[in-house]
Amino acid sequence: MFKNIISYILIFTFFIIMINSCKSDKSKSNKHKINNKEITVQEDNPLILTINKAQNDKYIFGNIIKITGQTEKTSNTDTLILSINNKNIAKLTTENPSYKWDTKTAHTGRNLIEIELNKNSQRFRKQKFVTIFSNEKPEEYTYKIKNVYKHDVHAYTQGLFYHNGFLYEATGLKGQSTVRKVKLETGEVLQSFAIPKDVFGEGITLYNNKIIQISWESGRGFVYDFNTFKQLDEFSYSGEGWGICTDNKNLFMTDGSSEVKILEPQTYSKIGSFEVYDENGPVKYLNELEYINGYIYANIYQYEKIVKFDPETGKVAAYIDLSHILPMNDYKPNTDVLNGIAYDKEHNRLFVTGKLWPKLFEIKLVKK
């Protein structure tokens, strides 16, 4: 009996020692990958990142924000690298530990502020996010209908653009998704092909004589020859795909949130992003996109409204109210939401339609 008690005590003691040993062996560092290289970031981070408080607890576009980077045990040899939105901005030293950031160089929404120290073969990093609101009140527009055209009532419109006298349209739903060339005046489909049946087609845009299309949940993008519709390439991305457009330099892509991803048009890789904000906060449910004269126009999903914003800053410039543009007697049980924006630059014509709508409208914007 006594031996058994001694055995239990020894086993219990060994168990406690092992637990403490495991705890003490826990590394004070975490493994991270940066640019596909694994580095060690110490948990006992000596960095102190301070950002001056916003007036009325709200940072406004154009504010000057003071950013200070320091170490707990200040060393004259320590130099911190300050980056904003993954771009190196300044070096912070003991003599000059602060940087005044003019947010006119930023974008609305969340901006990543980060300081980094490389010392004794170790890398320390600390980061914070700063959310910036627009400093402008958006203009308000309504519409005047200039022309009405036939639209395929079976087309679940997900993407739309105009080029050289014709509309190009992408339709959605699995097993029904197509890309098509449409005669504006009659709504006649002149050229069409179906995309893979397991893919829910979304937005399309024209870049460098190629049609680029994204899909909803499959993370697959497709590239087609503009003239033949032959598939040339396929690419992948993370998250959902909703709308896409181009300024002929970069691609802009939405995922149903307030974020707009910026893609490099040769590799289709993400090179940046921003969030669309007005003076009150983010504009969510960004859907189909069209680039028009330096601004992006986006359908807001489930709303009869288009938002116009600046892709350089993310600031909302205007809201366009398209309420009741489709007459009530044109509604059927399956008639869906407003979606689809196309622009004829040569003749300054703006077209809009919707999912399973029988009509496509040419409109003129009227300021309220």
Q: What is the pLDDT of residue 76?
A: 65
pLDDT at 4 over 50: no
Average pLDDT, the chain: 89
pLDDT at 37 over 90: no
The number of beta carbons lying within 10 Å of the beta carbon of residue 60 is 16
Q: What is the pLDDT of residue 19?
A: 45
pLDDT tens-digit series, residues 224-256:
999 999 999 999 999 999 999 999 999 999 999
**Which CATH number applies to 139-367?**
2.120.10.30
CATH superfamily entry for domain 29-133: Immunoglobulins (2.60.40.10)
CA 339 remoteness from chain centre: 18
Q: What is the pLDDT of residue 45?
A: 83
The DSSP bridge pattern shows strands 316-321 and 349-354 to be: unpaired
Q: What is the pLDDT of residue 38?
A: 45
pLDDT > 90 fraction of the chain, expressed in percent and rounded: 80
Boundaries of every domain in the chain: 29-133, 139-367
Q: What is the pLDDT of residue 8?
A: 47
Q: To 10 degrees, the CA torsion angle through 333, 195, 242, 198?
A: 80
Phi-psi region of 274 (alpha: psi -120 to 50; beta: other; left: phi over 0): beta
More confident residue, 9 or 116: 116
For residue 43, what pLDDT band results from cuts at 50, 70 and 90?
low
The number of beta carbons lying within 10 Å of the beta carbon of residue 316 is 23
